[in-house]
Amino acid sequence: MGIYLNPGNKGFRESVSSEIYVDKTGLIALTNKAVNTEQKYICVSRPRRFGKSMALKMLAAYYSRGCDSADLFRGRVIERDECFQKHINRYDVIYVNMQQFLIGVENQAVTHYLEQEVLEELREEYGGFIKQTDVGLADALKRIYARTEKEFIFLIDEWDCVMRERQESEEMQKQYLDFLRKLLKDQPYVALVYMTGILPVKKYGQHSALNMFWEYSMINQFAFEEYTGFTETEVRILCEQYQMDFEETSSWYDGYRFKKFRHIYNPRSVVAAMSCRDFSSYWTSTETYDALKIYIDMDFDELRSDIVKMLGGESIRVNTLTYQNDMRNFMVKDDVLTLLIHLGYLGYDSQTEEAFIPNKEIVREFENAMRVGGWTEVMRVLKASEKLLEDTLRGDADSVAAMLDNAHTEVASVLTYNDENSLGCAIGLAYYSARKDYRLIREFPTGKGFADVLFLPLPHTNKPALVVELKYDRTVTAAIQQIKNRHYTQALENYSGEILLVGINYDKDEPDKPHSCVIEKISR
């Protein structure tokens, strides 16, 4: 076993020996299907702490020749797959973490450094076939294959660190991509490439330098959805095991949404919450809010407005196709939003092509970034939101209307009222602090229409539910009457307790006091 060539199974053994281990070995069935096919080039991109390195350790343990990993997979999902025995410990694996090579050099010699390190181990194993000292890595592998027909599996972690940490050096990036293309594309010794990072493959113009790769990203994970993070079923099991409230776990760490798996959880944060028995933001331990601040402060048309709308619970349509898959070249606001999707700061629904802030943990990160970023008007609204909720729960409709007037004045520069939908976004922002005790649902289906906003209390909070109906240039009486006529409260069939009916109207012809409010209390 070596450092880069056939690294063995120690890394995966540590994973399965950990207090919390969720079986994701079904991923191997997908990579086995890709071996020696046109789909053998796989690039999987996900945010930090979404299990990328753990997956690579698992694949290294499974494929690496020279070790016996059967015991590590005994009883796991993959053991039941018909191809399990066909591929286990049958390949030479080259496993590299590009971050380590980038740290080791200060200039464009990163690829040379990588070649020398891997070649040193190859010579120990296959020295008789690569006697020249000046031979490159690709040529050495071709000679080994020509003499032995040995195929290699390449596992590349942090593949995109050059793009992220050498953003200003286009020449270094291009040299690096050309190196990968020469090493991997159309080479007979390649049985499989599994490459992971935060960003998809870098584009140059209209073409990708590594156009042979099949890409699985936070825009669309395709068959890899289940292995992107923890599924709802897996989290329910952990919550039972650690006696943690599932609804609270969901509000903190759920929100990454794909076509088949509509609820994907941040795995690192779930593990931390279960281990610590505490719901908190564990995101900041891996990345500071300064990184987010840089991007949300970019002065693109309506970007700030879109951020405010998402803080208010709205989803924003995003064109993800113009993004160049780097952290430097932004042409329009959609490029910035797409990067935030890849970084995990935004969730994305590929069916509706909309982005949104996924959960309470990420909301906290936006709040931290805005607090130091000059978003003073928005921060004043957020700070006032706790009193707004208190006044609502007390049934003080006049105070609620007055506070909504103030909130509207604060955010008027970045958020313009023009219909009930924009009003709903502003209401969601004004009630920001309610998220600690409530699950906020916009356009809640009731069977006879949609309630504009539902505040559903989290378990054990002892708070009443709020059904909010919004009107634009109508009356609060019409709002309350619609809740009653359409029986919106009947949709809360699994809820028993107090319900507050909240009718809010915005009248654009009343500039001094545009908001009016009525609050009624019922029980069920």
For 303-359, write each residue's pLDDT tens digit.
Answer: 988 998 898 888 999 999 989 888 888 889 999 999 999 999 999 999 999 999 999
Does the residue 2 lie in any domain? no
Cut 0.75: pTM above it = yes
Question: Do 205 and 101 belong to one domain?
Answer: yes
Neighbours of 354 (CB within 10 A): 17
User: Are residues 93 and 28 part of one domain?
Assistant: yes
pLDDT at 414: 75
Residue 302: per-residue pLDDT:
84
Q: How far apart are CA 327 and CA 329, in angstroms?
A: 6
Higher pLDDT among residues 167 and 464, named by residue: 464
Range of the domain at 348: 222-374
| Burial tier of 488 (Cβ tally within 10 Å: 0-12, 13-18, 19+) | buried
Say if 4 falls within a structural domain.
Answer: no
Q: Which run of H or E residues covers position 341?
A: helix 333-343
Contact 315, 354 (CB under 8 A): yes
pLDDT at 286: 54
357 and 455, same domain (yes or no): no
| C-beta of residue 433 within 8 angstroms of C-beta of residue 385 | yes
In a domain? residue 1 = no
Is 156 within a domain?
Answer: yes
Q: Classify residue 336: in a domain, yes or no.
A: yes
Averaged pLDDT for residues 152-169: 91
d(CA 274, CA 238): 7
Q: Of 182, 216, 250, which closes a domain?
A: 216
Q: Residue 163 sits in a domain of what CATH number? A: 3.40.50
Which of 329, 357, 374 terminates a domain? The answer is 374
Query: pLDDT of 222-264, one tens digit each?
Result: 999 999 999 999 999 999 999 999 999 999 999 999 999 999 9
Are 36 and 82 a contacting pair, CB within 8 Å? no
362 and 252 share one domain: yes
**DSSP letters along 271-324, please?**
HHHHHHT-----GGGTS-HHHHHHHHT---TTHHHHHHHHHTT--EE---SS--
Q: So what's the pLDDT on residue 435? A: 85
Distance from C-alpha of 107 to C-alpha of 86, rounded to nearest angstrom:
43
Q: Which of 160-174, 194-208, 360-374, 419-433 has the lowest mean pLDDT?
A: 194-208
Residues 111 and 237 both lie in one domain: no
Last residue in a domain, options 356, 374, 392: 374
Picking from 44, 461, 18, the residue whose alpha carbon sits closest to that of residue 272 is 18
Q: Does 226 lie in the same domain as 211?
A: no
Q: Are 367 and 345 in contact (CB under 8 A)?
A: no
Mean pLDDT of the chain: 90
Q: Which two tokens stand for residue 337?
A: 């939003």
Hey, which residues does 498 pair with through a beta bridge? 523
- Is 437 inside a domain boundary? yes
Q: Are 429 and 411 in contact (CB under 8 A)?
A: yes
User: Which residue is listed with tokens 């702490």?
Assistant: 49
**Same domain for 231 and 212:** no
Answer yes or no: do 39 and 176 share one domain. Answer: yes
Instruction: Tally the domains of the chain.
Output: 3
Helix 333-343 vs helix 303-311: crossing angle, to nearest 10: 40
Average pLDDT rounded to a whole number, residues 361-366:
92
CA-closest candidate to residue 400, choices 523, 502, 507: 502
Question: What pLDDT is recorded for position 213?
Answer: 95
User: Within this chain, do residues 98 and 208 fall inside the same structural domain, yes or no?
Assistant: yes
Residue 314 in tokens:
């709205």
Q: Note the pLDDT of residue 492.
A: 83
Q: Which CATH number fits the domain that encloses residue 425?
A: 3.40.1350
| Residue 411 sits in the same domain as residue 286 | no
Rounded average pLDDT over 352-372: 92
Amino acid letter, residue 322:
T
Q: Of 209, 220, 222, 212, whose CA–CA distance to 324 is shortest? A: 209
Considering the domain architecture, whether residues 254 and 111 belong to the same structural domain is answered as: no
Q: How confident is the model at residue 206 (pLDDT cuts 50, 70, 90)?
A: very low
Using CA atoms, how far apart are residues 327 and 166, in angstroms rounded to an integer? 10
SS3 percent helix, strand, coil of the chain, rounded to 5, is: 45, 15, 35
Q: What is the mean pLDDT of residues 273-277?
A: 97
Whether 29 and 158 share a structural domain: yes
Q: Is 173 helix (H, G, I), strand (E, B) or coil?
A: helix
303: amino acid identity, one letter: L
